[in-house]
Amino acid sequence: MIKIGTSACVVGDKVRFDGGHKRSAFVAGHIVTHYELVKFCPEVGIGMPVPRPAIQLREVDERIRLVDSKTGEKDYSDAMAGYFSRQLERLQELDGYILAAKSPSCGMERIKIHNEDGKLLHRDGVGMFAAALKQAFPDLPVEEDGRLNDQGLRESFFTRVEAYARFRQLVLENMQPSSLIEFHTCYKYLLLAYNPKIYYELGPVVANCRQDFDAAVAAYRSKFMQALSKPTTRKKHTNVLMHLQGFFKQELDSKYKSELTEEIKKYHSGYVPLLAPLTLINHYLREFPNEFLAKQAYLNPYPLELGLMA
Ligand code: SF4
């Protein structure tokens, strides 16, 4: 089962500074049936009690420090770095991470940064644990709990999680050019649906990967994850669906062809979810098998049971 890291308070653990939790029904009640959730509470992990005094990020001598909000005299930065190092082995097994928003430890973005006297400087910071996570695993799919309420961000996140896991199995556990070529082949239409520009940029990376394979794999994964990091549009999906329709031009008679065209048009207009034309394409694929099309991740980007396809 794919493992996704989560801030412990997001799955309902009462570990917040005020003794409460921040349970997300979507994370703790829904996705938990499809993924193994591995929880971390960095503040409890560094030995802080529950409840505990509030902490904040301060910029001191051009360095970000994690200190107690009241006096700024207790500095938890080194303890947090130590905790992160001790968790590395568990973190390496993850294919995604869901962080709690607004926390000076776990927040992914827009975290308050204060000056050394505790006055607010700006809100452009990153939680100290989250920053270490991003630095150590720059390609790991990471999202905040609240942002997962957005349909497009949800789809993007779980598409990335599944792709990251597949890349690990297909390429990293079998480091040879044929694995990278196979991965690129399987993700052709998914990449085209998210970022056609990057799809075409990745072609030469794959074609020349024998020159320095390790470097090519690193460059490929970084660009690939970047391509999927922004939600895509109905227009881009429609283009891909029309491409896929072309695979059946010999096999389908005019009645079935126009049925699929109609379904794609309805999706483009927002009347039906993406699942509708994809179900029809998957149905035709079972009727008229096509090896290349059958391996396309685009047709099954994440477990259908997640109920995400809009
Ligand atoms: S936001 Fe992070 S540090 Fe804070 S309670 Fe939740 S898991 Fe713990």
Measured between alpha carbons, how far is 61 from 81 in angstroms, rounded to an integer? 18
Model confidence over 20-51: pLDDT tens digits?
Answer: 999 999 999 999 989 999 999 999 999 999 99
277 lines ligand 1 (CB under 6 A): no
Segment 57-71 mean pLDDT: 97
9 lines ligand 1 (CB under 6 A): yes
Measured between alpha carbons, how far is 252 from 256 in angstroms, rounded to an integer? 6
Measured between alpha carbons, how far is 127 from 105 in angstroms, rounded to an integer? 4
Buried b (16+ CB within 10 A) or exposed e, 88-111: eeebeebbbbbbbbbbbbbbbeeb
Model confidence over 150-203: pLDDT tens digits?
Answer: 988 999 999 999 999 999 999 999 999 999 999 999 999 999 999 999 999 999
> What residue owns the CA closest to ligand 1's atom 6?
9
Tokens standing for 127? 């939680």
Segment 208-232 mean pLDDT: 97
Q: Is the pTM of this model over 0.75?
A: yes
Q: Which atom of ligand 1 is nearest to the CA of 17?
A: 5
pLDDT score, position 78: 98
The full set of domain ranges for the chain reads 3-49+78-111+122-148, 151-310
Q: Which residue has the higher pLDDT, 11 or 252?
A: 11
pLDDT score, position 307: 82
Site to probe by mutation for ligand 1, drawn from 16, 22, 37 as the one with most ligand atoms within 8 Å of Cβ, is 16
Residue 183 near residue 172 (C-beta atoms within 8 A): no
